[in-house]
């Protein structure tokens, strides 16, 4: 272990310390949200090709039933979050921007939360390949925000043996406490999911990294670990972005993922704590992913908390259920305020990857006046970048539209858009937004 980690607690170089702002929700038990009368299920909720609809207009479906199938190995199916009727399959607004094809469901009035479509599975004799197939059929994607199909992350090429499964229990974004509550309330499911994932990747050990400001979560998880389990819970320093996979690997194992490489190439697979809870809950039941825990918080929310929200719930319905300032110019963020994206319309639905909905009225903390000033070359952004980039130089190249140079000579693709540079910039330059645009344009150029 490095000298820095030994002296200051397990962590990584650089990073920032934004205010936590978690007090409104971290002590509140998870509550269940009612069904919206109309649900919208985009077919492209995950990284990879969109799923293909299995239903038609006016068809009746039951809660848990598959309504769209995976089209290839990079895709996952979609399951109905409600019992009801297919109202149509249309282009609908999404949080990503462009409209996308979606299945629209009309929920049956007064239906219960009972999941009618399940196929219990005996997982004890399943091979690694069968476990990974079961995870794909459950439609599970990364619950930390990336929406990368979990089965693809666990399907590691044979030439790269994995020795360690790392679980991200850090939740270092301000406001978000969904993972914290999952560790407290669903620890048994988390550990069950980790055991299955370890079998899937044939890992010798699993390490759950939890920030040291969550001692009750650490204790709760340890209660479910047996003496002969090769699973441990390790405290890491509270710091942003401690939960990103390269930073967590550095803190826990003192290994570095080379530029352009994946964690499995150094023997590690990383998953989010909520993803493990979903695997532990859903696989034994043979049930699909139809709901998830979401933090709804921020100064604009009247009833903040952590809610189990059916996938497909319109954002407007969710916010009206918890109360929000409809007439004020609030900024609404999906995910955390550091890495999340602002939504312009409330017609978009909750999808599988959304971990939080944050409502920030104008002028509230973490929503500074967006007046942009010229770069003063202070170097603060360089000092905090966790992967050692020079955001000031990248911004200068972005302004000159030299996007290829940013990628080829300045390692643009190593940026994982944590937002540390934007957070510390005294000129309020939206650096990370510049980099997202540059990467998007480079992808278009290469396609």
State the binding site for [4Fe-4S] cluster. 375, 378, 381, 385, 415, 418, 421, 425
Annotated binding-site residue numbers: 375, 378, 381, 385, 415, 418, 421, 425
293: β partners = 308
Helix (H, G, I), strand (E, B) or coil at 207: strand
Contact between 319 and 350 (Cβ < 8 Å): no
Q: Which residues make beta-bridge pairs with 271?
A: 167
Gap between the Cα atoms of 204 and 103, Å rounded: 41
CB neighbour list of residue 150: distance below 8 Å, 6 or more residues apart? 135, 140, 141, 142, 271, 275, 279
Q: How far apart are CA 3 and CA 172, in angstroms?
A: 23
- Tokens at residue 441, please? 């344009």
DSSP secondary structure string, 294-347?
Answer: EEEESTT-SS-EEEEEETT-BHHHHHHHH---TTS--EEEES-TTT-EEES-TT
Q: Which of 337, 341, 382, 378 is nearest to 360 (CA)?
A: 337
- Token readout for 110 is 């007064």
231-249: string of b/e by CB count within 10 Å (b at 16+)? bebbebbbbbbbbbbbbbb
């Amino acid at each position: 272990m490095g000298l820095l980690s030994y002296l200051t607690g397990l962590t990584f170089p650089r990073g920032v310390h934004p205010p936590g702002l978690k007090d409104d929700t971290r002590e509140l038990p998870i509550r269940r949200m009612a069904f919206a009368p109309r649900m919208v299920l985009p077919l492209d909720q995950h990284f990879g090709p969109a799923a293909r609809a299995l239903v038609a207009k006016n068809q009746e479906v039951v809660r848990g039933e598959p309504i769209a199938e995976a089209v290839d190995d990079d895709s996952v199916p979609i399951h109905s979050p409600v019992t009801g009727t297919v109202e149509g399959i249309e282009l609908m607004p999404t949080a990503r921007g462009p409209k996308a094809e979606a299945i629209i469901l009309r929920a049956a009035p007064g239906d219960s939360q009972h999941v009618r479509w399940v196929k219990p599975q005996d997982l004890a004799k399943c091979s690694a390949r069968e476990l990974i197939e079961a995870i794909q059929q459950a439609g599970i994607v990364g619950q930390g925000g990336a929406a990368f199909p979990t089965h693809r992350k666990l399907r590691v090429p044979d030439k790269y043996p994995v020795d360690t499964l790392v679980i991200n229990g850090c939740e270092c974004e301000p406001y978000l406490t969904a993972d914290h509550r999952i560790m407290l309330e669903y620890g048994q499911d988390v550990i069950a999911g980790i055991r299955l994932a370890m079998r899937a990747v044939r890992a010798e050990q699993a390490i759950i990294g939890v920030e040291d400001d969550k001692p009750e979560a650490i204790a709760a998880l340890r209660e479910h670990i047996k003496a002969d389990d090769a699973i441990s819970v390790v405290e890491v320093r509270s710091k942003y972005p401690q939960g990103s996979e390269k930073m967590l690997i550095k803190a826990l194992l003192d290994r570095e993922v080379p530029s352009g490489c994946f964690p499995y190439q150094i023997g590690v697979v990383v998953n989010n704590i909520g993803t493990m809870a979903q695997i532990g809950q859903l696989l034994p039941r043979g049930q699909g992913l139809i709901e998830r825990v979401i933090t709804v918080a921020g100064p604009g929310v009247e009833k903040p908390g952590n809610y189990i929200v059916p996938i497909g719930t319109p954002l407007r319905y969710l916010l009206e259920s918890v109360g929000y300032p409809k007439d004020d110019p609030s900024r609404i963020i999906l995910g955390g305020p550091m890495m999340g994206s602002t939504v312009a319309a409330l017609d978009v639905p909750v999808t599988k990857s959304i971990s939080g909905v944050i409502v920030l009225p104008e002028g509230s903390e973490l929503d500074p006046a967006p007046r942009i000033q010229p770069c003063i070359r202070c170097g603060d952004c360089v000092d905090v970048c966790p992967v050692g980039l020079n955001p000031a130089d990248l911004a200068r190249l972005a302004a000159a539209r030299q996007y290829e140079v940013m990628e080829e000579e300045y390692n643009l693709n190593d940026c994982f858009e944590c937002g540390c540079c934007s957070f510390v910039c005294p000129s309020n330059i939206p650096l990370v937004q510049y980099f997202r645009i540059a990467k998007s344009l480079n992808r278009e150029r290469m396609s």
